[in-house]
């Protein structure tokens, strides 16, 4: 639901040239023999938006301090490949290795914003045409080979027009997953997982349509974002979702901007997920700059100046089971 996602597309032309590396075509070795497994109740994740070369080193100690098991990370295609077809993987190489070396599972949110097929820097576009899907698959084949121990979430909130323009289409989303998921699966470690796109809310008919379109057989988790759902009613909503899939569930994004209620918001929803054995990702690590998409950008565990907020303590308590 949060509109900051993939904002690299709004200003990425200035960022792609940063970080050095140029065209780097060789594949990295795995940063470990397998993705770390820390599967238990009170599984916390945090969301990051790494749009500058210095962010991985700044973010890492903050992620570790939160107690996170997972780090959900925008995988911005147009920050990796420029319009000339030159690749620079350096930013994501650092993120990937930093996280795995600290036993934190990276969840890469598959890139939207192909600099060739969709128009460089023009914003979010859904891969719909045969050409777009083909290029999407080719890019993520290379990416999943490079980052085999990452987990992959295929798109974000496809039931929202903002993320699946011009209008949400469960059948189109299923077509994309049918094309890209087998390619990712062929390249990732056996311990790595594939998530369906976290939906805004739990829109049962939309989810059922794409699951029946082949997605249920291709993913390891069905993801959702429980915006608009009271924590006390999460169990009832989840029970309805479990009626249409046998796959485990993953809350891959949830947050609030009201600093006066954030600690309570995180604790209540995270505990509701823990009671159902559902991993929980808080949106997000850092507050951001206010902008036309997010006029209030105070969702973070930390301020923009990296000062801890009260919600950080709530996150740490949840991660440690002290809630």
| CB atoms near residue 83 (< 10 Å) | 13
- What is the secondary structure of 131-165 as a DSSP string? HHHHHHHHHHHHHHHH-TTSEEEEEE-TTSTTTSS
Please report whether residue 151 resides in a domain: yes
pTM above 0.95, yes or no: no
Please report whether residue 107 resides in a domain: yes
Per-residue model confidence as pLDDT tens digits over 35-77: 555 446 899 999 998 877 778 889 999 999 999 999 999 998 8
What's residue 1's pLDDT? Answer: 47
Please report whether residue 301 resides in a domain: yes
Strands (E), the chain: 44-48, 70-74, 105-109, 151-156, 194-200, 222-225, 249-254, 280-282
Please report whether residue 249 resides in a domain: yes
Please report whether residue 223 resides in a domain: yes
What's residue 181's pLDDT? Answer: 98
**Total structural domains in the chain?**
1
**Residue 222, domain extent:** 45-320
Give the whole-angstrom CA distance, residue 192 versus residue 189: 5
Which residues of the chain, if any, have pLDDT below 70? 1-40, 112-125, 293
* CATH code, domain carrying 168: 3.20.20.80
């Amino acid at each position: 639901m949060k509109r900051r996602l993939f904002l690299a597309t709004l200003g990425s032309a200035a960022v792609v040239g940063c970080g050095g590396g140029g065209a780097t075509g060789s594949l990295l070795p795995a940063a470990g023999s397998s993705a770390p497994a820390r599967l238990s109740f009170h599984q916390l994740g945090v969301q990051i938006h790494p749009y500058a070369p210095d962010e991985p080193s700044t973010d890492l100690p903050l992620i570790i301090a939160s107690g996170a098991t997972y780090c959900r990370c925008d995988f911005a295609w147009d920050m990796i490949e420029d319009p000339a077809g030159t690749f620079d993987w350096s930013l994501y190489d650092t993120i990937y290795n930093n996280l795995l070396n600290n036993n934190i599972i990276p969840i890469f949110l598959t890139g939207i914003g192909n600099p060739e097929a969709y128009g460089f820097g023009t914003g979010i576009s859904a891969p719909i045409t045969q050409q777009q899907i083909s290029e999407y698959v080719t890019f993520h084949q290379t990416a999943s080979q490079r980052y085999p121990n990452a987990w992959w979430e295929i798109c974000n909130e496809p039931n929202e027009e903002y993320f699946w323009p011009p209008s949400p289409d469960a059948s189109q989303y299923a077509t994309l997953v049918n094309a890209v998921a087998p390619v990712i699966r062929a390249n990732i470690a056996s311990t790595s997982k594939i998530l369906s796109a976290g939906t805004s809310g739990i829109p049962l008919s939309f989810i059922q349509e794409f699951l029946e379109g082949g997605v249920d057989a291709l993913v390891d988790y069905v993801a959702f974002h429980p915006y608009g759902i009271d924590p006390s009613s999460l169990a009832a909503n989840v029970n309805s979702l479990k009626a249409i899939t046998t796959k485990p569930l993953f809350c891959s994004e949830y947050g609030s901007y009201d600093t006066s209620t954030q600690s309570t918001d995180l604790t209540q929803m995270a505990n509701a997920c823990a009671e159902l054995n559902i991993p929980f990702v808080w949106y997000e690590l850092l507050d951001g700059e206010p902008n036309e998409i997010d006029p209030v950008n105070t969702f973070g565990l930390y301020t923009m100046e990296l000062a801890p907020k009260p919600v950080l303590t709530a996150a740490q308590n949840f991660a440690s089971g002290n809630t």
